[in-house]
């Protein structure tokens, strides 16, 4: 199978590419893997280094908003797995334009090309954030979309376009909606790598508001395996939730990261809450479990310890990405 991975030089996309090329997804025989990535600030060479010399890998540096380039790149592929996005909520609050053009127009540009070239499966990689906050219980796939940030609103728009291309044009689309994800090669602006790298460097960590916001933490390997199962077994037009059920408040998470880095609470600096900050996300994954047979396997304690160890051992990857102090 010839697979096009957009955003394959970012955090989750690169993990997917590494898994495809190292046999971690035995159900997905990748004859070739093409990465299409614009190499924004969030992309790194290092994330693809472990598979750089694999003859099956081709890297195209280009923007999913560039219709001519997208058309030429999509041609000849059996499947598109679409990770490319502007992905950081805080940046979307500061300036939303790139979020709309990449996450909405870029997605539509890819969908058009997929349709023109007879792509047999289009996987729209999305997020639990499209549903907005939920006080108790968990969202099902039928819940109305109610995004709070420009980031999640742009992802919701991309999802709706993808599903509309299925309904209108018969394009074979599946949508995955994953929980907050952590692991190696995550850009050090998201809470876990930001806090760990700050602590390893002897700096403070900024905790939003009262620290009571709840997130469901999913290891990147579990997230990628769920996407791979959706790619191979998902029903056309299906939506698949990928959550771990491992809920933590940001305060609890901070406590664990402080302990793992040998630091105390004096290193925590409370900061004003994020605007529109969703209190809690939670996904009902019953359909995913039944239809795809997916269950997360990485225990949170083990996954966090391994992730902290990875950042400790891979300073050369993240040091150039940190702002100069
Ligand atoms: N990180 C999470 O916790 C999480 C959770 C659920 C879903 N997701 C979704 O997974 C996908 C990947 O997230 P991530 O955390 O790996 O993001 P990331 O920011 O680490 O990587 C995004 C990649 O997309 C590329 N990109 C951005 N704009 C582009 C454009 N216009 N054209 C081509 N490439 C472009 C970037 O260069 C980067 O390599 C996103 O769609 C995101 O919405 C992320």
Give the active site residue among 129, 216, 221, 222.
Answer: 129
| Same domain for 205 and 145 | no
Helices (H), the chain: 11-21, 67-74, 89-94, 97-100, 107-116, 150-169, 191-200, 220-233, 250-260, 286-292, 300-313, 315-318
Q: Is residue 7 part of a domain?
A: yes
The total of structural domains in the chain comes to: 2
Q: Is residue 43 part of a domain?
A: yes
Confidence (pTM): 0.98
Expressed as residue numbers, the domain containing 152 is 2-180+220-242
| Same domain for 144 and 195 | no
Q: Does residue 301 have an active-site annotation?
A: no
- List, chain by chain if needed, residues with CB within 6 Å of any ligand 1 atom: 6-7, 9-13, 37-40, 42-43, 63-65, 83-87, 102, 106, 125-127, 155, 178, 180-181, 187
The percent of residues in the chain predicted with pLDDT above 90, rounded, is 99
| Same domain for 152 and 50 | yes
Residue among 101, 34, 91, 99 at smallest CA distance from 66:
101
Residues 6 or more apart whose CB falls under 8 angstroms from that of 43 comprise 7, 9, 10, 37
Q: Is residue 166 part of a domain?
A: yes
| Same domain for 272 and 237 | no
58 burial class (0-12, 13-18, 19+ CB within 10 angstroms)?
middle
Give the active site residue among 16, 25, 131, 151.
Answer: 151
pLDDT digits (tens, 9 = 90+) for 113-135: 999 999 999 999 999 999 999 99
| Same domain for 210 and 197 | yes
Residue 103 Cα, ligand 1 centroid: separation in angstroms? 9
Q: Is residue 294 part of a domain?
A: no
| Same domain for 70 and 35 | yes
Q: Is residue 288 part of a domain?
A: no
The residue-averaged pLDDT of 51-69 equals 98
| Same domain for 228 and 81 | yes
The percent of residues in the chain predicted with pLDDT above 70, rounded, is 100
> What CATH number corresponds to the domain at position 308?
3.90.25.10
pLDDT digits (tens, 9 = 90+) for 156-198: 999 999 999 999 999 999 999 999 999 999 999 999 999 999 9
Q: Tell which atom from ligand 1 comes closest to the C-alpha of 40.
A: 37
Residues 6 or more apart whose CB falls under 8 angstroms from that of 70 comprise 36, 62, 64, 109, 110, 113
| Same domain for 62 and 20 | yes
Residue 11 Cα, ligand 1 centroid: separation in angstroms? 7
Residue 126 Cα, ligand 1 centroid: separation in angstroms? 9
- The answer on pLDDT for 325 being more than 70 is no
Q: Does residue 165 have an active-site annotation?
A: no
Give the pLDDT band (50/70/90) at residue 323. confident
- The answer on pLDDT for 304 being more than 80 is yes
Closest residue to atom 7 of ligand 1, CA basis: 127
Q: Does residue 128 have an active-site annotation?
A: yes
Q: Is residue 228 part of a domain?
A: yes
> What CATH number corresponds to the domain at position 174?
3.40.50.720
| Same domain for 96 and 67 | yes
Residue 184 Cα, ligand 1 centroid: separation in angstroms? 14
| Same domain for 112 and 7 | yes
Q: Is residue 11 part of a domain?
A: yes
Q: Is residue 88 part of a domain?
A: yes
Residue 265 Cα, ligand 1 centroid: separation in angstroms? 32
| Same domain for 225 and 187 | no
| Same domain for 230 and 196 | no
């Amino acid at each position: 199978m010839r697979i096009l991975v957009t955003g394959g030089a970012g955090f989750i996309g690169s993990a997917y590419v590494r898994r495809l090329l190292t046999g971690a997804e035995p159900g997905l025989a990748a004859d070739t893997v093409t990465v299409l990535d614009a190499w924004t600030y969030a992309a790194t060479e290092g994330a693809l280094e472990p598979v750089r010399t694999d003859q099956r890998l081709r890297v195209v540096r280009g923007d999913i908003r560039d219709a001519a380039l997208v058309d030429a790149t999509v041609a000849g592929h059996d499947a598109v797995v679409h990770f490319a996005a502007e992905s950081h909520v805080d940046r979307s609050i500061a300036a939303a334009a790139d979020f709309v053009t990449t996450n909405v127009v870029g997605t539509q540009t890819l969908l058009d090309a997929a349709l023109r070239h007879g792509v047999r499966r289009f996987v729209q990689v999305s997020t639990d954030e499209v549903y907005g906050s939920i006080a108790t219980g968990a969202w099902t796939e039928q819940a109305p979309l109610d995004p709070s940030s420009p980031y999640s609103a742009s992802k919701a728009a991309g999802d709706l376009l993808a599903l509309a291309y299925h309904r209108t044009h018969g394009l074979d689309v599946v949508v995955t909606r994953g929980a907050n994800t952590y692991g190696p090669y995550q850009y050090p602006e998201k809470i876990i790598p930001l806090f760990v790298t700050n602590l390893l460097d002897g700096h403070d960590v900024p905790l939003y508001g009262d620290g009571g916001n709840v997130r469901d933490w999913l290891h990147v390997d579990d997230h990628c395996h769920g996407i791979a199962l959706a790619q191979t077994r998902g029903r056309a037009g299906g939506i698949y939730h990928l959550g771990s059920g491992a809920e933590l408040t940001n305060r609890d998470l901070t406590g664990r990261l402080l302990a793992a880095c040998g630091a105390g609470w004096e290193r925590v600096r409370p900061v004003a809450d994020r605007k529109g900050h969703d209190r809690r996300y939670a996904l009902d994954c019953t359909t995913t479990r039944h239809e795809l047979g997916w269950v997360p396997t990485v225990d949170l304690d083990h996954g966090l310890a391994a992730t902290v160890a990875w950042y400790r051992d891979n300073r050369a990857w993240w040091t150039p990405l940190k702002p100069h102090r």
